[in-house]
Amino acid sequence: MMPRRLWPALVNGFRRRCPNCGQGALYGRYLKVVDACPNCGEDLHHHRADDAPPYFTIVLVGHIVVPSILLLEQVAAPPSWVHAVIWLPLTLLLALTLLPRVKGAVVGLQWAKRMHGFGGSVE
């Protein structure tokens, strides 16, 4: 069995593309992974992303937003309503933008490591 390259699979998944060919769409809807790649036919229904993508997304968004809030507070000390106007929409936008990309990277990781049935026959 030939090893699959991890980084291209992660990047393709992050781009919301098939981890195998990098061309076909990974999703049919916002977070619904297609059963098979429309370009190369690779089976993708095996994925078991579960709670990992939301967890990683929360960690990423938190590491972006919290230091930014602290920096703005130290530099300008704006009133609380300014923080609410800036950070609530930005947090929501970042989370909704990153979630499908992070899930795609998790699917790419599973595909590259032949996890959850992505390896073909069980040996």
Q: List the domain boundaries for the chain.
A: 6-112
Describe the crossing of helices 52-75 and 80-112 by its angle, rounded to 10 degrees.
150
Q: What is the pTM of this model?
A: 0.91
pLDDT tens string, the chain, 123 residues long: the values are: 788 999 999 999 999 999 999 999 999 999 999 999 999 999 999 899 999 999 999 999 999 999 999 999 999 999 999 999 999 999 999 999 999 999 999 999 999 999 988 876 544
Our CA angle for 7, 11, 13, nearest 5°, is: 115
